[in-house]
Structure 1
Amino acid sequence: MNRLKICMIAAALTLGACERRPDDVPVVVSVIGQPTGNASRNPGSPGAALLGATAQGLVRFDANGRIEPGLAERWTVIEDGKSYIFRLQQTEWANGSAVTAKQVATALRRAVRRGGRNRLRAFVGAIDEIVEMTPNVIEIRLSKPRPDMLLLFAQPEMAIFESRRLGGTGPFRVQSRDANGILLRPAFDPLRLTDSEFEEPHAAEYVRLRAEPAALAIARFGARQSDLVSGGTYRDWPLIEHSKVAPTNRKIDYAYGLFGLSIVSRQGFLASATNREAVAMAIDRGALTAAFLPDWPIAEALLPEQFDSAQPPAQPGWGPFSLEDRRNAARLRVEQWRREQDGEVPVIRIAVPDAPGGNLIWAHVGASLAAIGVRAERVAWRSAADLRLIDRLAPYDSGRWYLVAACQPCAAPVAAAILAARDAPDIATRRQRIAEADAALAADIAFIPLARPMRWSLVALRLREWRENPRAVHPLNHLRGDPN
C-alpha cells in the first residue's frame, strides 16, 4: 500500500470518528515502527516499548522521565560515582521463581556485553566489575567516576531478563499474541498482595500493544480504536497536521539529544572549517522549525545545557548576528572558494529520510544553501553524502554523549580531546576536559545543530498519568494512574 492510499485511509477514518473509548477496557497503544525494530538502536521503537514493559532494569523511568525504583528498591552511590550499590526488592520471574542477586549480576554482565553493539557502547566501558554482595545486594564498580550512570541503567538496553524463555520481571507480562497485537497483563507484585489475596487484574489494567506505520496509527486513533500513539518524530508530523485529531490530544516532547546535520565528508567545499561554518550560518532555523511547530526550539550550540561540563555550552561566533548578516558573510566565503576553483559552483549532497517531514527539512535546508550560492543535492539517507540529517535522543545527561555522537567524523585533535574526557581520573578533571572538547568541536564545525529533537504522541483523555517530558519516555505502566 503506497503512502497516498494510507493517508487517504487515515483521513477517512479520522473524519468518521465520533465516540470516545470507554474507560473500563484495555489500553490500546500503537507504537510507530516495525515489529522487528532494533530496541538497542531506537529507544522509541515498538521493540523498546515491549522490552521496557516486560523486562525492567535496576531502575526505570516514571511518567515525568525521572528515575524510580525498578528491580532495585533503593541504591547508594559512593566514591564520587565509582561504586553503585543496589538493594533488590523481592520479586519473581514469569515462572514464579524468586529473583536473586546472582541472576541479576549475570544478566547485567550480559547487558554490558551487548552494550558493545548498541548506542551505549561508548558509555558502559567504565563498568569494571559487577559483584553479588549478598543474596539481595549487588555492587557495580567503575574504573572511572561516573556519578550520572543511573539514567543509563534505566535504558532499554540495560533491561534485565533471566532468559529469553522466562523474560523479565515486568511491570507487565505477555498474555497473548495475535493479529491484533500483543496483550500485556500486569505482573504479580509479591510486595503488594499475598497469594491468598491475589485477584485478577481489572480489564483497564491490561495494555494491547501494536506496531504499525504512522498513517495507520493516526487513523486508528482518530477512529477511537486506540488510546495512545507513541514514537512519532519529525518524519511523520505533517500527517498529523492534515488529520482531524484534536489539538488537546496532540502532545509534544522537546527532548534532550541531537537534531542536526552531521558532516560526514570533508571533501570539496566542506574541507575547511570556515566553509563548514558558512553552511551553518546560512540555515534559517526559525523558518525550518516553524514549518512544523511554532514553538519548536532551535539549537545553535551542541550542548542544550551545561550538564557535566566545566563551562556553559560553546556558542558559535556568528550567534549574535542576524540571518541576513550571516548569509552575507557565508556568500563571501562561497565566492572566495569559487575564485579558487575557477568558478566551480560548490555542490553538497544531503542525506535526508524519504518521509513527509524529511521533505520539509530538505526544502528549507536546500533553500538556505541556495541563498548563499551552494547547490544542494538530495540523496537517500543511507547513501554516500556530505551532510546527513541526524535525530537521536540522549540516553543520559553528559556532555560526552553529545561529543561522541557529533564526532562522526571530526578532526584528530578533537577526537583526542573527547578521549581525554573519557579517561579523566576524577570528576573535576573530567568536567574540564568535556569543556575543552566542546570548544574544540565547535571550532571544528563537525556537526551543525538545528533544533532540539521533537517527539509527538496522540493521547486519549483517559490516560491521565501521561506526561510530556524531556526524555520522551512514556512507560506503559504510567498511563492511566489508578483505574478505580
Structure 2
Amino acid sequence: MALGAVLLTASGCDRHADTGSVVVSAVSSADTAPTASRDRSGEGDMPHRVLRNALAQGLVRFDANGQIEPGLAERWIVIDDGGSYIFRLREAKWNDGMPVTADQVVPILRRLTSPQSGNPLAPFLTAIDEIVVMTPQVIEVRLSRPRPDLLKLFAQPEMAIIDRARHGTGPFRIIRSGPPPLLRPIPDPRRAEPDDTETPAPEDDVLLVTESPARAVLRFARGKSDLMLGGRFETWPLIDAGGVASTAVRVDPAAGLFGLAIANRDGFLADAGNRQALSAAFDRTAMLSSIAPNWEAADRLLPDALDSDAPPQIPGWALLTLDERRAGARARVAAWGQPVRLRIALPRGPGANLLYGQIGATLLAISITPERVDNDAPADLRLIDAVAPFDSARWYLATACAPCGPEAQAAIEQARLAPTLATRSAAIAAADAAINQDTSFIPLARPLRWSLVTRRLRQYQPNVRAWHPLNRLRADTN
C-alpha cells in the first residue's frame, strides 16, 4: 500500500458538491508547549499560521505549488547576486480601508527581522543590513552578504505584514468572529471595477475550524469538512482509524529534517564514537514502515548538495550490515562499563507511540535502557521534525546543531558570515563534514506531512513547503 493510500472503509460521505463555504480544519498539536524543533524551523502552531497567512501577507507569498508569487509587492528585482532586493508595492489597503505605503511597511519589516523580535526565522535573516524607503511605493532590502533564497523566507507566514492598528491586508478578512471564524476574500483593487458592489458567493468563504487531529479526521470522514491541514507522522494512524477514502489523502513531498538531536552530550553521549555507534544501530526502514508505508529513510543530514559545493556527507557506517552496526554499538556500551539510560523526548500521538516502540527496541538490543519523556522535558535524544523554510544547507546544519561541538558550531558560523556565495558554499561543505564527524544529529527520514482533501478543492497541490494557502484551494482568487 503506497504512502498516500489507506484502507477504504468509509461510506460515500465525502464532500463533492461545490456549494457553501469551504470548511477547513486546521489541526492543533497535542503538545502545546514550544519545542526546540519548532522554534528552530519556524513551524509554530498550525491554526495560528493558517489564520495569519489568510488575514495578512508578506511582500511575497506562496502559491498552491509552494512557489513564490506577488503579495504586497507586485514586482521586484534582485541585484548583486542576491545582495539587494527592490520591491514595488502594489495598490493595497489595510482592512480599515486606508492605503498601504512603504513608510508603514518598512518599520514592520525591521521589527520582524530583528533578533529581538521573537520571530523564529530571525536567525536566518541576519544578513539583512538595512531596509529603506526609496519612494512611497518602493522598498529596498540591502544585505551585507548575498542571500539568493531570501524570497522564500519572506513568503513564510511569520513574515506577514501586520500593522498593530490596522491589522492585515488579506487575502481574507473575518466577517464573523466565531468560533469558528468565517473568512471572506478581500476584493483586489487591481481587478475590481469602481462600481462593482457584487457580494462574493458563499463558496468563496472559508470557515476555519481549530480542533484536535482526531476530531478533524472524524469531521472529514463524516463529510463535514472539505480540508484537513496539519497532518504529521504522529497522527498518520488516525487515517485508518477514521476510515477515510484513499483518494482524499494527500502527502506532501516535504523537504526538511526528521531525526533525533543529541540533546545532552554528557555521559555515554559525550563521546563522538558512541554517538556514531548509536546512529548506526537504527534500522530506519523497519522503523518508518511500522508507522507509514513507503516512508523513505534517510541516513545523512543533507538531502542534496543544495548550496554546498560538495555532495552530502555520508556516515562512515553506511556500508556495514545492520548486524555489524549493532554489534559495534553493543561493544561500545559494554566498554562504557556502567549502565546506560537514555531519555527520548517525543510528541504525543499514536504515530509517536509506534516510533518510540521502534526506538526503544533498538536501544534495548544494544543494551541501553530507554525512557520516554515529554517534548518539553529534559532529554538525551529529542525528536526534530521540521519542514525547511528555504533551500539552504545552512538551515539543515544550524537546525541539527541542537547542540553540537565547538568545531561544528564554528564551521556553521563561518558559513553564516561568508562574504561571497563561493566562500559560503565552501564553508557549508566544511560545516557538513564537521557535523558528520561530530554526530550531533541522527537523521531518520524526511518529514511526513499530509492533508485530507475533497474534490471541490481543485487548486490544492502537494508541495515541498507543505504549505497550502486558503486563497489557493478552490478557485483562482486574488
Q: What range is the shorter-chain TM-score in?
A: over 0.9
Alignment correspondent of 2:150: 149
Tell me how far apart the structure 1 counterparts of residues 257 and 367 of structure 2 sit (CA, whole Å): 27
Amino acid at match of 2:141: I
Alignment correspondent of 1:215: 214
CA contact (8 A) 2:15 2:226 kept: no
Match of 1:436 among 423, 430, 434: 430
Q: Does 1:377 align with 2:378?
A: no
Q: CA deviation at 1:116?
A: 4.0
Name the % identity.
Answer: 51
CA contact (8 A) 1:349 1:387 kept: yes
Amino acid at match of 1:184: L
Deviates more, 1:212-221 or 1:346-355: 346-355
Match of 1:351 among 345, 350, 363: 345
Tell me how far apart the structure 2 counterparts of residues 107 and 126 of structure 1 sit (CA, whole Å): 17
Q: What SS does the corresponding residue of 2:126 show, helix, strand or coil?
A: coil
CA contact (8 A) 1:422 1:430 kept: yes
Q: CA deviation at 1:134?
A: 1.1
Alignment correspondent of 1:334: 333
Amino acid at match of 2:363: L
Q: CA deviation at 1:114?
A: 6.8
Q: Does 1:261 align with 2:260?
A: yes
Q: Does 1:173 align with 2:173?
A: yes
Q: What SS does the corresponding residue of 1:144 show, helix, strand or coil?
A: coil
Q: CA deviation at 1:53?
A: 0.7
Q: Give unpaired runs (5+ residues) of structure 2.
A: 1-8
Amino acid at match of 1:332: A
CA contact (8 A) 2:14 2:454 kept: no
Q: What SS does the corresponding residue of 1:242 show, helix, strand or coil?
A: helix
Q: What SS does the corresponding residue of 1:439 show, helix, strand or coil?
A: helix
CA gap of 1:293–1:78, structure 2 versus 1, over 3 A, is: same
Tell me how far apart the structure 2 counterparts of residues 375 and 177 of structure 1 sit (CA, whole Å): 50
CA contact (8 A) 2:26 2:230 kept: yes
CA contact (8 A) 1:330 1:372 kept: yes
Tell me how far apart the structure 2 counterparts of residues 476 and 453 of structure 1 sit (CA, whole Å): 22
- 1:39-97 Cα offsets, whole Å, 9 max, x none, are 98535610000000110101100111111111111111111211000111111111221
CA contact (8 A) 1:302 1:314 kept: yes
Q: CA deviation at 1:115?
A: 6.6
Q: CA deviation at 1:229?
A: 0.4
Q: CA deviation at 1:468?
A: 0.7
Q: Does 1:93 align with 2:94?
A: yes
Alignment correspondent of 2:196: 197
Alignment correspondent of 1:185: 184
Q: Does 1:20 align with 2:21?
A: no
Q: CA deviation at 1:330?
A: 2.0
Q: What SS does the corresponding residue of 1:178 show, helix, strand or coil?
A: coil
Alignment correspondent of 1:401: 395
Alignment correspondent of 2:5: none
TM-score of the superposed pair, with normalisation by structure 1: 0.92
Match of 2:354 among 357, 360, 380: 360
Tell me how far apart the structure 1 counterparts of residues 335 and 188 of structure 2 sit (CA, whole Å): 69
Q: What SS does the corresponding residue of 2:233 show, helix, strand or coil?
A: coil
Q: Does 1:46 align with 2:47?
A: yes
Q: Does 1:449 align with 2:443?
A: yes
Q: Give unpaired runs (5+ residues) of structure 1.
A: 1-13
- 1:219-266 Cα offsets, whole Å, 9 max, x none, are 111111100000111111111122210010011113111111010111
Q: What SS does the corresponding residue of 1:196 show, helix, strand or coil?
A: coil
Counting only pairs closer than 5 Å after superposition, residues 72-111 of structure 1 correspond to structure 2 as 72-111=73-112
Tell me how far apart the structure 2 counterparts of residues 353 and 37 of structure 1 sit (CA, whole Å): 10
CA contact (8 A) 1:58 1:70 kept: yes
TM-score of the superposed pair, with normalisation by structure 2: 0.93
Alignment correspondent of 2:140: 139
Q: Does 1:312 align with 2:307?
A: no
Q: What SS does the corresponding residue of 2:146 show, helix, strand or coil?
A: coil
Tell me how far apart the structure 2 counterparts of residues 438 and 231 of structure 1 sit (CA, whole Å): 30
CA contact (8 A) 2:108 2:161 kept: yes
